[in-house]
Amino acid sequence: MPPNGTPPDLSLVFPGSDGRPLVFPIPEGTVALGRAADNDLVLEDPSVEPHQVVLTRTGDHLELRGLFAGTTKVNDTPSQKIQLKPGDVITLGVVKLRLMKIAATKSGALKRGETRSLGRGGRPTRAQRRDEEPTRTGTEAVGNRTTQRMPGPDDVEGKRARERDARRARSLARARQLSDEIMHEDDFEVVFERLAGGFLDVFSADRAVTVLFEEDGINPLMVVERRRDGTAEGTGIAQEIISRCLQVRSVIRVAGGYQGLGGLAAPLLTESRALGMLYFERVSTPGAPLGADDVHLMALLTNVASLKIAPLVR
């Protein structure tokens, strides 16, 4: 057992702004890497795309999936989908990250969501902010012991956090189910229908729209729309959202509207063209604003859908 009590685990190691190596332990589930602030690991380098890759860890298995943005290489070979093993070097733009099975020291380990300024390395994001906050109710690993703190005034916040985690777990489970459903479908139209219907569950959306483009990758051809009330009526998707999405070539947030709607849109991309796009919107509720988790799930599902649909519409 290492001095800090943390067993060796799969981690990404990359240089920080001061040249010292930073370690990002890869948690179970899905983590997103990119330049945008809502990634799990933020890589502040102009050569990195806002949302470039997603890593999915199941036990010791780790898969990389590119989001068809920017240059992604594994061991100097361009890769969009690949199983990773310790020792592999992932290159995003000009940023290199090595996958290692190591024990991170408590002071050097970057946690999911941690934010720290980096040079050509990475800047992990959110969770560290939470961890750096004053002590709250919960269980924290310290060395090789576990310390249970006494309940305090932050109980309400703890309950909210648990509810949020439960909601996140449900969304992830439904997203996996939806991903499996579309991977077993050979009719592109049914794939679009399943995605639109599935988005109502995964994202608690009020309205979901999927769009298929013509071969030129620009002109929308067909729309599938599903609403929470079970109807297929509605206005589809505004051309300006389609244009912006194609320009950014990544997940974009769509806000506003007369009902205070929030939504996400993402293009279905291959390396050569845009196949279509996915969109959902929901009425904002105080407990469930659109967050980074939604963006990651959207990116993941968009990636899976692109891989599935590309051969079906050739």
Q: How far is CA 10 from CA 88, 99, 169, 221, in A?
A: 11, 7, 22, 44
How far apart CA 298 and CA 171 sit, in angstroms, is 11
- Own/partner contacts of 154-162, CB < 8 Å, gap of 24 or more, are 160/287
Is 197 a binder of other proteins (CB under 8 A)?
A: no
Among 1, 173, 222, 255, binds other proteins (CB under 8 A): 222
Q: Which is nearer to other proteins, 146 or 235 (CB)?
A: 235
User: With respect to other proteins, which residue has the nearer C-beta, 48 or 265?
Assistant: 265
| Residues in 226-285 at the binding interface with other proteins, rule: CB under 8 A | 232-236
| Choice between 77 and 219, CB closer to other proteins | 219
Residue 8 vs 234, nearer CB to other proteins:
234
146 binds other proteins per the rule CB under 8 A? no
Q: Any contact of residue 37 with other proteins (CB under 8 A)?
A: no
Cα separation, 192 vs 182, in Å, equals 9
Q: How many residues bind other proteins (CB under 8 A)?
A: 19
Stretch that binds other proteins, among 167-175, 212-220, 261-269, 301-309 (CB under 8 A): 212-220
- The span from the CA of 191 to the CA of 197, in Å, is 10
Token pair for 294: 């939604």
Q: Report in angstroms how near the CB of residue 235 gets to other proteins at its nearest.
A: 4
270 token code pair: 């291959």
The correct pick among 28, 133, 157, 215 for binding other proteins (CB under 8 A) is 215
Give min distance, CB of 250 to other proteins, in A.
Answer: 21
Q: Which helix (H) or strand (E) holds 53?
A: strand 53-58
Closest separation in Å from C-beta 310 to other proteins: 12
Interface map 274-313 toward other proteins (x if CB under 8 A):
---------------------------------------x
Contact with other proteins (CB under 8 A) among 189, 246, 283, 307: 189
Maximum CA pair distance of the chain? 61
Query: How many CA atoms, within 13 angstroms, populate the side-chain half-sphere of residue 192?
Result: 22
**Distance (Å, whole) CA 284 – CA 173:** 22
| CA–CA dist 198, 2 (Å, integer) | 45
Considering the complex, state which of residue 131 and residue 214 has its C-beta at the smaller distance from other proteins. 214
* Cα three-residue angle 63-263-220, rounded to 5 degrees: 85
Which stretches of the chain bind other proteins, using CB under 8 A? 189, 211-212, 214-216, 219-225, 232-236, 313
